[in-house]
Amino acid sequence: MALERCDVEKIAHLARLGLNEADLPRTTDALNSILGLVDQMQAVDTTGIEPLAHPLEARQRCVPTW
């Protein structure tokens, strides 16, 4: 899903962001890059991998408390 300039203008309005004309192309490109990364992550096969309820469920190394 790629965003177009009019989409970014609507999003900026809803978020009450004041984007000037010079910022719109750069913001559109940045948002499209983020959405591209999300698409890549969704394409990863996670079959057989159990989700963590919290990222810190992984074992942490012990830190001495002296």
- pLDDT given for residue 59 in this prediction: 65
- pLDDT given for residue 52 in this prediction: 74
CA atoms of 55 and 57, how far apart (whole Å): 5
Give the model confidence (pLDDT) of 19-35 as tens digits: 999 999 999 999 999 99
pTM, rounded to two decimals: 0.68
- pLDDT given for residue 9 in this prediction: 95
What stretches in the chain show pLDDT beneath 50?
none
- pLDDT given for residue 26 in this prediction: 95
Cβ proximity of 27 and 8 under 8 Å: yes
